[in-house]
């Protein structure tokens, strides 16, 4: 046995002892670096080949490579042994299978969507169809067909987002009333939920994007009492059987007569003069309603002497203020997990 063989044999023995005694993966990697790393002991042996005669160098290189392969097999065996030991240790641990698991965070339906679904279900039980339509509408469906011509001052009150001279983001879902009546003959009973857009300043009561539910019923013999009954039922469906509803005379170009719809303040019920929700009035405004204007019926070729109808529009976020006792409408769009969890 020459000097190189003795050196490699001694190196393999020391490496085998080091990897056999390694108590962890980190210790095993330390041994690998010390012997097989770039600056390890094997590298030092390789550099000594340059001192040998040229004819002896190929055999010496082959001998070193064989020693390295043997050391790498030792390393692999040691890694398998450590992994098996760790697995056995894990299996030996006692697990209490009756201990409660970690409950993962679970989301919930947003309150605005929940109110929309429940209001839609209320009207569906009474025979109404739910219709949806585009959020970008021509001014014909948004205003002209609703008895709001281009020179009508009511157009300015909507403060709309215009995209072109004749296209705009819908400020209400009323265009679906016109589209539906143009496609169907009476009787017609629909609700139209959806997003609406108005250039309102954002505050505790207003958003520039909000959700609305509009309803329409047109048939023979329809009167204002039917409207009051349906909206009173909706409020009691959403807020409870004790909820009161009132109708105040108002004006809308597309209904005649028209009314504002209010419901009792859920916070003070009219007993606090400085209530932050209703201002002490005891009432919260939900939206507008009224009997469909004869001009709107004529526009869709319905005979106003034969058919009559009512329509309403309420803001879903306004319903949410009343239902959940929230004092700021902006809380519905702030995506605060704690707030949404409270309403869950």
Instruction: Kindly give, in sequence order, each residue whose CB lies less than 8 Å from that of residue 76, ignoring residues fewer than 6 positions away.
Output: none
Is the pLDDT at 181 greater than 90? The verdict is: yes
Q: How would you classify the pairing of strands 129-130 and 188-197? A: parallel
> pTM above the 0.85 mark?
no
Rounded CA-CA distance 275/284 in Å is 11
Q: How confident is the model at residue 1 (pLDDT cuts 50, 70, 90)?
A: very low
Q: What is the largest CA-CA distance in the chain?
A: 121
Establish if 99 belongs to a structural domain: no
Same domain, 86 and 171: no
CATH number where 264 lies: 3.30.930.10
Q: How confident is the model at residue 193 (pLDDT cuts 50, 70, 90)?
A: very high
Among the ranges given (129-138, 164-173, 198-207, 270-279), the one the predictor scored with the smallest mean pLDDT = 270-279
Establish if 87 belongs to a structural domain: yes
Is the pLDDT at 143 greater than 80? The verdict is: yes
What range does the domain containing 250 cover? Answer: 111-342
Same domain, 131 and 227: yes
Contact 332, 112 (CB under 8 A): yes
For 82-126, the pLDDT digits (tens) are 888 887 877 777 777 788 888 887 778 888 999 999 999 999 999
Same domain, 205 and 87: no
Q: What is the DSSP letter of 23?
A: -
Same domain, 157 and 295: yes
């Amino acid at each position: 046995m020459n000097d190189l063989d003795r050196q490699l044999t001694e190196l393999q023995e020391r490496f085998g002892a080091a990897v056999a005694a390694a108590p962890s993966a980190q210790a095993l990697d330390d041994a690998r670096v010390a012997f097989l790393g770039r600056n390890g002991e094997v590298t030092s042996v390789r550099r000594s080949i340059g001192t040998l005669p040229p004819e002896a160098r190929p055999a010496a290189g082959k001998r070193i490579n064989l020693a390295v392969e043997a050391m790498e097999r030792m390393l692999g065996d040691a890694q398998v042994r450590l992994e098996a030991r760790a697995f056995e240790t894990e299996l030996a641990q006692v697990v209490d299978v009756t201990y409660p698991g970690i409950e993962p965070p679970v989301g919930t339906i947003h309150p605005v969507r929940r109110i929309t679904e429940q209001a839609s279900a209320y009207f569906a039980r009474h025979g109404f169809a739910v219709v949806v339509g585009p959020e970008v509408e021509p001014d014909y469906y948004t205003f002209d067909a609703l008895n709001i011509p281009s020179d009508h001052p009511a157009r300015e009150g909507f403060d709309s987002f215009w995209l072109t001279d004749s296209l705009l983001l819908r400020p209400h879902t009323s265009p679906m009333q016109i589209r539906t009546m143009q496609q169907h003959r009476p009787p017609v009973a629909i609700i139209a939920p959806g997003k609406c857009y108005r250039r309102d300043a954002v505050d505790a009561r207003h958003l520039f994007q909000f959700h609305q539910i509009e309803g329409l019923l047109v048939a023979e013999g329809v009167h204002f009492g039917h409207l009051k009954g349906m909206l009173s039922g909706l409020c009691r469906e959403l807020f409870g059987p004790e909820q009161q509803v009132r109708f105040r005379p108002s004006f809308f170009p597309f209904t005649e007569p028209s009314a504002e719809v209010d419901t009792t303040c859920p916070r003070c019920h009219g007993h606090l003069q400085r209530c932050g929700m209703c201002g002490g009035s005891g009432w919260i405004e939900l939206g507008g309603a009224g009997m469909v204007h004869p001009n709107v019926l004529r526009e869709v070729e319905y005979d106003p002497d034969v058919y009559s109808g009512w329509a309403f529009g309420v803001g879903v976020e306004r319903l949410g203020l009343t239902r959940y006792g929230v004092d700021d409408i902006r809380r519905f769009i702030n995506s605060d997990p704690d707030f949404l969890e409270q309403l869950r």
